Amino acid sequence: GAGVSQSPSNKVTEKGKDVELRCDPISGHTALYWYRQSLGQGLEFLIYFQGNSAPDKSGLPSDRFSAERTGGSVSTLTIQRTQQEDSAVYLCASSLGTGGITGELFFGEGSRLTVL
Amino acid sequence: GNSVTQMEGPVTLSEEAFLTINCTYTATGYPSLFWYVQYPGEGLQLLLKATKADDKGSNKGFEATYRKETTSFHLEKGSVQVSDSAVYFCALPRNQAGTALIFGKGTTLSVSS
């Protein structure tokens, strides 16, 4: 597609349920990133993929969070046993090569997660 | 790892006013520095960048100069417009490996006519 696509755009869930958030990067972009945007906290790095591997996943806040990427394209962020503090907007970005050096990350509009 | 601090808003200005949003950083080496902008209802997008000391990045009337001595990268615009209302984020590589960017907490700018 023309840009980074994320789904769902909004998700409301009950505490304790599992959720999956999807990211479809720009075609041909080898790098993919997940961030979390909370009110007053800015953007928090979660995980970085290069191809299908995740050389840096040090930002995942707990073992309830996991992510995978398949075919060097689509990525899924999974949050198990959701807690209210997981409520945030989850942003996905992609880039050619190492966007962490060039700075040219392309962001999706995000998935807003609300945990009741 | 590296870190970034930017002034928190909100910043409220009248059209044609001068804008400064402060950003300071700590980093190993001399990484590239970036400003991103998030317009209402849209994803973040790169606004400008500077790749070495004393470089000036510019775009859409915005400018920022890479100041190594003061470890700063302040965003400026001489005359803001209503359409500049957005959230602005200062950013730099998370580490020397450049695995991702880290972002400041964002500064909300509101411009009224």
Average pLDDT over residues A107-111: 95
Helix or strand (DSSP H, E) at A101: helix A99-102
Q: Which residues in chain A touch residue B105, judged by CB atoms under 8 angstroms apart?
A: 40-42
Strands A10-13 and A111-115: parallel
Q: Do B97 and A100 touch (CB under 8 A)?
A: yes
Judge whether B13 is closer than 8 Å to chain A, CB to CB. no
SS3 assignment, position B66: coil
**Which pLDDT score, from 0 to 100, does residue B8 have?**
86
**pLDDT per position as a tens digit, B1-53:** 899 999 888 999 999 999 999 999 999 888 999 999 999 989 999 999 999 99
Q: How far is CA B59 from CA B37, B62, B72, B96, B104, in A?
A: 11, 5, 18, 26, 20
Q: What is the mean pLDDT of chain A?
A: 94
Interface probe, candidates A10, A23, A37, chain B, greatest B C-beta count within 10 A: A37
- Cα separation, B21 vs B7, in Å, equals 6
Instruction: Retrieve residue B14's tokens.
Output: 């009248």
- Cα separation, A88 vs A91, in Å, equals 9
Q: Which residues in chain B touch residue A55, judged by CB atoms under 8 angstroms apart?
A: 99
Q: Residue A44 burial by CB count (10 A; 0-12/13-18/19+): exposed, middle or buried? A: middle
Nearest residue to A18 via CA among A78, A63, A71 = A78
- Cβ(A21)–Cβ(A114) under 8 Å? no
Interface probe, candidates B37, B44, B92, B105, chain A, greatest A C-beta count within 10 A: B44
Q: Do A42 and B42 touch (CB under 8 A)?
A: no
Segment 16-45 of chain B within 8 Å of chain A by CB: 32, 34, 41-45
Q: Which residues in chain B touch residue A60, judged by CB atoms under 8 angstroms apart?
A: none
Sign of CA dihedral B40, B24, B73, A45: negative
Q: Do B94 and A100 touch (CB under 8 A)?
A: yes
- Cα separation, B76 vs B64, in Å, equals 6
**pLDDT per position as a tens digit, A21-51:** 999 999 999 999 999 999 877 899 999 999 9
Q: pLDDT band at A1, cuts 50/70/90? A: low
